[in-house]
Chains A and B, each alone.
Chain A
Amino acid sequence: ELKVEQNPLFLSMQEGKNYTIYCNYSTTSDRLYWYRQDPGKSLESLFVLLSNGAVKQEGRLMASLDTKARLSTLHITAAVHDLSATYFCAGLMEYGNKLVFGAGTILRVKS
């Protein structure tokens, strides 16, 4: 059964710094997703990673997927306050349409 583990669970960082959130998953997963959630709001899709070596970038966020290591990363470059949110990764189960979510990483960017 697919399990998804994120770390760290909480990240407090200074504006302008770089950091990486890690997402490990336990078994084969065809696709890996990253979502963002602002406080009190729903989940918004950030990235869809479909194959080994996939890299997607949007602004200061870059996501990558290494299927051999069963690892996805979300890299934050030169953080700004607006990036403060909770970030979830989710793996697609090998059979079916269910996503398995990580616990989420709460990111706080301090000025």
Chain B
Amino acid sequence: GAGVSQSPSNKVTEKGKDVELRCDPISGHTALYWYRQSLGQGLEFLIYFQGNSAPDKSGLPSDRFSAERTGGSVSTLTIQRTQQEDSAVYLCASSSRGWDTEAFFGQGTRLTVV
């Protein structure tokens, strides 16, 4: 596609439920990032995929968070047993190589846990 696409754009879920957030990166981009942005805060790094290599999960805040990237393209971020503190905007970005090239961001998924 023309840009990074994220779905859904908004998600309201009940505390304790699992949610899946999807990211379609720009075709051909090998690097994919997930970030979390709480209200009025900066971008918190969550996870990074580079090609088909094993992802770096060092930024994931707890073991309730996981992510996968199928076929080096589409990525899914899963949050299990959601808590109210998980409420934030989840942003996905892709770049053609990695940190030495510009990152293109999606519009984000706003997650609200009630």
Whether A and B are associated in the same complex: the answer reads no
